[in-house]
Structure 1
Amino acid sequence: MGKLDLITIVIIAANVIISYKGFGDFNFFEKYKFQVGAIQRGEKMRLFSAGFLHADNQHLFFNMVSLYFFADVVIRLLNPLQFIIIYIGSLLLGNLLSFYFHKNEYHYSAVGASGAVSGIIYSAILLQPGMNLYMFFIPIPIPAYLFGIGYLLYSIYGMKNRVGNIGHDAHFGGAIGGYLITLLLAPYLFQTNMLMIGLLALPIVLLFGMKKAGKI
């Protein structure tokens, strides 16, 4: 796990280069970030471009390390083209869900690859549910599905408490994107992996339940 395929290197490089351009160029950052009012005025490009900008180094590092851990599983068990479809589809669905949640907040803005990365995490876990992660700071292996579910629970916390200029709700749109697109591309999972399909649906159901109850 964590092998760097060429397409993963290209995506990480694009995120680093564009994010650092945004760190040093306020006008560039403002032009390409997710911003509800601008999108409503017709600047639809922001739904895509915001996925390559980040709030700070920590935000960029967390997303790229998460991508590093999970990308190879998707590329190896599907193929590079399907990986790109999942990555971009999850990025766009993440930002579309964020737009839906915040469509009445004209000044709401956010950035990050979180939607795309959430989609890749969910895809990888669906494809290889038994894999473990070996984190630098934890001496024991962590089941990948626990990391994935924890990632989304942190996103709920971030959404509820409006933590940073980060698209926490885009995590969920991305997870839904990765979940659905992977099941479309690999329908055999319904025969081999129904337990994980059900388990990974739980945080998504929790999100929409909280949203309906007005708790987010």
Structure 2
Amino acid sequence: MPTVTKNLIIINVLVYLGTLVAQSYGIDLADYLGLHFFLAKDFNPAQLITYMFMHGGFTHLFFNMFAVWMFGRILEQVWGPKRFLFYYILCGIGAGLISILVTYIRMNILEAGMSPEAIATVFQEGLGVLQTNHNYIEPHMASLNLLLNTATVGASGAVYAILLAFGMLFPNQSLFIFPLPFPIKAKYFVIGYALLELYSGFANNPNDNVAHFAHLGGMIFGFILIMYWRKKNNNHGTYYN
């Protein structure tokens, strides 16, 4: 296994184990390392990096790291360790920024349906007041509380960027994806995943705790970066396939 791919998996596993140890002492590391909305009291700019090494459970960790191993090692062999690591981290940061942007838009939509008094309560008394006082008449307050006080965790934004890169570099590579009984080309696999995330993001199911727009954000940043590299390489007389 290439060095960067191996170390990314090791770091994610160690952080997950550290999260379990901290929980046994009553400490939730997501409060410190998870990505919070930039207006929340717990926000720290460093969370744009740390959040992608946090996971909400073993299944979350397993499938993300499985994808890093399955597709990331191939990208690292093609690009080299430095370019692959740069791509992974930048797309992870980009996914976090898109997630924050979408939260900001949703918050403004909710505020549009709130009274000036309710908005003043939030920003004068502090965001934390929403965590302990849900006795507001307006139902928008509970949704606003969720947006402002829920941390985003996981490497999924960077992982979706890896999937996109694999699909762009090896578009006609056949993949066997459970539960499909037939192989599917990588380009269709990636397009299908992107459309599914887009639909799920706009569906905005209240019982869905997945940051779908963060996944799309990782793919967007990955696409922009790959196209930039392609243009740069072509301008220097080399080709990128």
TM-score in terms of structure 1 length = 0.76
Q: Residues 79, 186 of structure 1: CA spacing in aligned structure 2 closer, same or farther, 3 A cutoff? A: farther
Q: Residues 15, 151 of structure 1: CA spacing in aligned structure 2 closer, same or farther, 3 A cutoff? A: farther
Task: Provide Cα deviations, 1:140-189, integer angstroms capped at 9, x if missing partner.
Answer: 33212232223333433543225554432210110011111111122368
Aligned residue pairs total: 190
Give the aligned partner of residue 222 of structure 2.
Answer: 178
**Given that residues 16 and 55 in structure 2 are in contact (C-alpha distance below 8 angstroms), is that contact kept between their aligned partners in structure 1?**
yes
Task: Provide Cα deviations, 1:26-62, integer angstroms capped at 9, x if missing partner.
Answer: 4322211111156676511111111011111111112
Q: Residues 50, 76 of structure 1: CA spacing in aligned structure 2 closer, same or farther, 3 A cutoff? A: same
Letter in 1 for 2:5: T
Sequence identity of aligned pairs in percent? 27
Task: Provide Cα deviations, 1:45-99, integer angstroms capped at 9, x if missing partner.
Answer: 1111110111111111121122222113322332211111110110000000000
Give the aligned partner of residue 151 of structure 1.
Answer: 193
- Where structure 1 has 5 or more consecutive residues not aligned to the other structure, the ranges are 194-216
Give the aligned partner of residue 13 of structure 1.
Answer: 10
**Structure 2 matches for 1:137-216, cutoff 5 A?**
138=180, 140-159=182-201, 160-162=204-206, 164-187=208-231
Choose the corresponding residue for 1:112, options 140, 154, 178. Answer: 154
Which secondary structure does the structure 2 equivalent of 1:71 belong to? helix
Distance 1:184 1:53 in 2: 29
Which secondary structure does the structure 2 equivalent of 1:34 belong to? coil
Q: Residues 107, 60 of structure 1: CA spacing in aligned structure 2 closer, same or farther, 3 A cutoff? A: same
Q: Which has the larger radius of gyration?
A: 2
**Given that residues 129 and 145 in structure 1 are in contact (C-alpha distance below 8 angstroms), is that contact kept between their aligned partners in structure 2?**
yes
Choose the corresponding residue for 1:124, options 166, 170, 174. Answer: 166
Distance 1:152 1:163 in 2: 20
Q: Residues 41, 111 of structure 1: CA spacing in aligned structure 2 closer, same or farther, 3 A cutoff? A: closer
- Where structure 2 has 5 or more consecutive residues not aligned to the other structure, the ranges are 108-146
**Given that residues 37 and 107 in structure 1 are in contact (C-alpha distance below 8 angstroms), is that contact kept between their aligned partners in structure 2?**
no
Distance 1:162 1:5 in 2: 40
Distance 2:215 2:207 in 1: 13
What is the RMSD of the two structures over their aligned residues, measured on CA atoms? 2.7
Deviates more, 1:107-116 or 1:70-79: 70-79
TM-score in terms of structure 2 length = 0.69
**Given that residues 95 and 215 in structure 2 are in contact (C-alpha distance below 8 angstroms), is that contact kept between their aligned partners in structure 1?**
yes
